[in-house]
Chain A
Amino acid sequence: MDKKKLDLFFNPGSVAIIGASENPDKVGHVIMQNYIDVGFSGMIYPINKNAKTVLGRKAYKNIKDVRSKVDLAVIAIPVEGVSRALDECGSSGVRCAIVVTSGFSEVGRDDLQDELTRISNKYSMPVLGPNCLGVMDMRSRVDTMFLPTFKLDKPKIGGVTFVSQSGAVGSTVLDMISHEGFGLAKFISYGNAAVIDEVDILEYLMHDDNTKVVLFYMEGVKRGREFIDTVKRFTQIKPIIIAKGGTTPDGSKAAHSHTASLAGSATAYEAVFRQFGLIHVNDIDDLLSYGKIFDTEGVANGKRVAIITNGGGTGVLATDALYLNGLELAEMSSDSKAKLEKVMPKIVNVRMPLDMAGDADDKRFAAAMDVVTNDKNVDMVMVIALFQTPGADSRVAATLIHYKSNSPKPIVVVSPGGNYAQVHNQMMEGSGLPVYESPSSAARALKALFDYSEYIRNTRDIYGKGIKKGK
Chain B
Amino acid sequence: MNAATSKNRPDQLKLLEYDKAESIINKYGIQKPEAAYVYSKEEATAFAQKGKIALKVISEKALHKSKSGVIAINLDATSAGKSYTALYSKAKRNNLSPFKILAQRMSEPGTEIIIGANTDEQFGKLILIGLGGVYVETFKDVSVRTCPINEYDATSMLRELRAYRIIAPEQRTERMLVSLLMRVSKMVASNEWIKELDLNPVIINKEGYSAVDIRIML
Contact = CB atoms under 8 A, between A and B. Distances in A.
Interface of A: 220-221, 224-225, 227-228, 262-265, 267-272, 274-275, 458-459, 462
A268 B152 contact: no
B121 interface: yes
Given A224-B122, A264-B122, A271 B144 contact: yes
A459 B152 contact: yes
Interface in B54-74: none
Contact of B150 (A267, A268, A462): A462
B123 A225 contact: yes
Contacts of B146: 228, 268, 271-272, 275
A268 B153 contact: no
Q: In the complex, which of the residues B120, B122, B146, B149 has the most CB atoms of chain A within 10 Å of its own CB atom? A: B122
What are the 6 A-B residue pairs with the smallest beta carbon separation, nearest first? Answer: A264-B122, A224-B122, A268-B120, A224-B123, A271-B144, A268-B123
A270 B123 CA distance: 11
A274 B77 CA distance: 50
B152 A458 contact: yes
Contact of A270 (B121, B144, B150, B153): B144
A274 B146 CA distance: 10
A271 B126 contact: yes
Interface of chain A, main secondary structure = helix
B133 interface: no
B126 A267 contact: yes
Interface string B120-161: 111110100000000000000000111001101100100010
A220 B122 contact: yes
Interface of B: 5-6, 120-124, 126, 144-146, 149-150, 152-153, 156, 160
Nearest to B123: A224
B124 A275 contact: no
A462 B122 contact: no
A264 B120 contact: yes
A228 B144 contact: no
A341 to B, nearest CB: 39
A269 B144 CA distance: 10
Among A224, A275, A458, A462, max chain B CB count under 10 A is at A275
B194 to A, nearest CB: 17
B121 A264 contact: yes
A275 B145 contact: yes
Contact of B153 (A220, A265, A275): A275
B145 A265 contact: no
A231 B121 CA distance: 19
A263 B5 CA distance: 15
Nearest to A270: B144
Given A270-B144, A271-B145, A264 B152 contact: no
A224 B147 CA distance: 12
Nearest to B152: A458
B134 to A, nearest CB: 20
A417 to B, nearest CB: 37
A274 B124 CA distance: 16
Contacts of A271: 123, 126, 144-146
Nearest to B122: A264
6 contacts: A264-B121, A269-B123, A271-B123, A271-B126, A272-B146, A459-B152
B145 A263 contact: no
Contacts of B120: 224, 264-265, 267-268
Nearest to B6: A265
A304 B123 CA distance: 36
Nearest to B151: A462
Contacts of A228: 123, 146
Contacts of A459: 152
Contacts of B152: 458-459, 462
Contacts of B5: 265, 267
Contacts of B144: 267-268, 270-271
Contacts of B150: 462
Given A271-B146, A275-B145, 8 more contacts: A221-B122, A227-B123, A263-B122, A264-B120, A268-B126, A269-B122, A274-B145, A275-B149
Nearest to B127: A271
Contacts of A224: 120, 122-124
B37 to A, nearest CB: 36
Nearest to A266: B5
A91 to B, nearest CB: 36
Which of A228, A268, A275, A462 is packed against the most chain B CB atoms within 10 Å? A268
B122 A262 contact: yes
Nearest to B142: A267
